[in-house]
Structure 1
């Protein structure tokens, strides 16, 4: 069984984005793994495995415009189903 079910990926477009602050917020506030939050002060790419992707989306939307959102169910994928 997969501990963190949903592979959550998105882009955040905004101003004064801080990848270190975003990484710290994820680490302190969300349960999950495989965090990737990289970019610059105008565009950040997020990749994160979690059981609560809606919380990730809500937080990221508070930072700027979010788009290219992908939430895949890795449990379904591991069973050979469409994720």
Structure 2
């Protein structure tokens, strides 16, 4: 069973980005699992499973320029459909 439907991945470009602050915000404010936030002060890659990918995108856009956005529906993928 998949609790969080959308595999959401993106890059955030900005200045003074902090992996720790990003992880803390997402953990406290957006329901999901499998969170990864890796990078440096100028570029962070995010990977997160959630049912509300728009919340993650909205937050990320508030702290930097977002691009290379991928949102895949893992329920469809599990059913051998296009995700």
Q: Could you state the TM-score of these two structures normalised by the residue count of structure 1?
A: 0.98
RMSD, aligned α-carbons: 0.5
Question: Counterpart in 2 of 1:53?
Answer: 53
Name the count of aligned residue pairs.
83
| Structure 2 CA distance for aligned equivalents of residues 53 and 46 of structure 1 | 12
In structure 1, runs of 5+ residues without a counterpart are none
Q: Which runs of 4+ in 1 moved over 2 A?
A: none
Q: Does 1:42 align with 2:37?
A: no
Task: Tell me the TM-score normalised to structure 2 length.
Answer: 0.98
Task: State the secondary structure of the residue aligned to 2:55.
Answer: helix
Match of 1:14 in 2: 14
